[in-house]
Amino acid sequence: MAKNQELTYPNRTKKKLIHPMRVNRPNVTTETATPQTNAFKCNNTLMRMIRSVDHLSNSEKFWKERVQNPEAFGQAEKELWMKLEPILGELLDELKAKGKTEVSFIPTKEQHLSNIVDNLIQINKNENLLLHLFDSPERFGQFLKVSSEFGFDEPKSTSLYVEISAYLCVLSTELFKLFLLFHLRDIDPQVSHFTRTMEEVAPTAWKKLKPYVDNEFRNSLAHGTWAIENKKIVLFRDATLEPYERLELAKFMIKIKRQNLLYACLNYLIEEKRKANFFT
């Protein structure tokens, strides 16, 4: 990587790994990480549940049911989750009302799905290992002292983290689609046709959810139309190579986390609905 392409990694507080079957991204505690409150208005019932989340035991229970280590779940994630959960619930209800939810699952195929999810678990572990190299200058210095013998330096380490994070984002977005489609029937099972399928079978809820499924970001990462220029991650749509977004590393991480949380929220809802015999 050229010198002018080096990225400066923000200081981070070390967090425990969260299982991807729930929420698997560390909290980003930067000013840019917190969206405006009015951008995440929740319905009255859910808002009452979150208002005292940091103080009341029932709110603590609410988050512990959804994430494995809620102490690593920041306010930005909570607000986004509170927006996503009712929309995803509405989506599942709309699909069920149209007879599109699966009623019978083949064990071997469920095992295949579990094995696919394992990919996300492993990439998340790898991403977290790299992430925590940057917890402090001392920790990163220790890593470089050992790894420099094998050619690692700060630019290469940061670049490796960005590349693994990009793959994590693509995997999270595609697994969100795959996971939902797996639980449906009498629909087009092609993951690449996901948007069109949702527009056809659940247009009302999909209209609300679509802004949170960042296919444009996913496509830039999956198609390789991104670059590191002047310490920023630059995103392109196509071969015209006209940039549509330039991201600081912290903002890049936030966009990835939003897609990861989208999958985690869907996973939680489907897990709960299967317990409640929703898919019958």
The residue extents of the domains of the chain are 3-7+20-275
Q: What is the pTM of this model?
A: 0.78
Question: Can you tell me the distance from the alpha carbon of 44 to that of 67, in angstroms, rounded to the nearest whole number?
Answer: 22
Two structure tokens written together for 149: 């013998």
pLDDT score, position 7: 56
From first to last of the 280 residues of the chain, give the pLDDT tens digit: 444 455 544 444 433 333 343 434 434 433 333 333 333 333 444 444 334 334 433 477 888 888 877 777 788 899 999 999 999 999 999 999 999 999 999 999 999 999 999 999 899 889 988 888 888 889 989 989 899 989 889 888 888 999 999 999 999 999 999 999 999 999 999 999 999 999 999 999 999 999 999 999 999 999 999 999 998 999 999 999 999 999 999 999 999 999 999 999 999 999 999 999 999 9
- Region of 223 on the Ramachandran plot (φ > 0 left; ψ -120 to 50 alpha; else beta): alpha
List of residues 6+ apart from 183 with CB closer than 8 A: 101, 102, 270, 279
The rounded distance, in Å, linking the Cα atoms of 55 and 209 is 30
Q: How far apart are CA 185 and CA 100, in angstroms?
A: 5
Residues in the chain: 280
Give the neighbor-by-neighbor strand order of the sheet with 226-229: 226-229, 232-236, 243-247
Q: Are 7 and 158 in contact (CB under 8 A)?
A: yes
Greatest alpha-carbon pair distance for the chain in Å reads 61
Q: Which tokens go with 71?
A: 């102490």
Looking at the DSSP assignment, which residues form a beta bridge with residue 184? 101
The SS3 of residue 67 is coil
